[in-house]
A = this chain, B = another copy of it.
Amino acid sequence: MRPVALLTDFGHADHYVGVLHAVLERDAPGVTRIDLGHGVRPGDIWDACFQLRCAWPHLPTNCVVMVVVDPGVGTERRAVAVTVGARSLVAPDNGVAAAVAGASAAVALDWRRMGVEKPSMTFHARDLFAPAAARLARNERDLDFGDEIGVGSLLPCPLPDPVFSLSGLEGVIVHVDHFGNLVTNVRGSEAEPSATATWRAGRTSRRVRTYGEAQPEEVVLIEGSAGFLELAVNCGSAAEATGLERGDTVVFSQGDD
């Protein structure tokens, strides 16, 4: 049986995530379940795409990955299963399903052909995506769950790429983590080791390699664990220190300038 990993914006206040686990265990008894995370900002597709990309390289080779951040649930948006290498990605077709590169095939999920009851209008994770993930875990073929669709027809991932401007390389904060680190969409390799980040008129941060190099309360620029540059405060919260939020701009200029 293949392991199943779950990434959602359902949080931990309710039984929602628990019911997904129950459905997986009901439909694929003994399946290995991995909570990739349920703290995606509610309805935030950027955040879902970002967290999925960060976790992707570390997942088991043949993993079934179910990502549900689904503000359009109950509308006409498609539900899809995408093949990426030996992995399967099950998600609404709202940009999340196209967040990782290398898709080779895709199917539009059809509850009639999956042999499940008609889904509710508000909880397709329970009624459609988890049953699909359980069936894939049991090595059923997604081609039996609906019509094949072109990989190119998937809604593209909306995460912006950094852009070059007169000021330098303009990035954007795509994720604020538990520690208050402000993670941008700029890779460590895209900026010089001597780069500085300007995050508000007159406020800049120098780049360091480890948290330990930062002065107390200093906002520094550091390459995070997924390879992206982030603003951070050692033993503190850069989000609190700067007041910056998801979606705010950070400009990277080279140290030589």
Contacts and interface: CB of A to CB of B under 8 A. Distances in A.
Contacts of A34: 18, 21-22, 25
- Total identical chains: 3
Interface string A8-24: 00111111111101110
Interface string A211-223: 1100000000011
B35 A13 contact: no
21 contacts: A3-B25, A7-B18, A10-B178, A14-B51, A15-B51, A15-B52, A15-B55, A18-B55, A21-B34, A21-B36, A22-B63, A26-B59, A29-B32, A42-B235, A71-B234, A73-B210, A73-B211, A122-B223, A122-B224, A122-B225, A126-B225
Interface of A: 3, 5, 7, 10-19, 21-23, 25-26, 29-30, 32, 34-39, 42-43, 51-52, 54-55, 58-61, 63, 71-75, 120-123, 126, 175, 177-179, 209-212, 222-225, 234-235
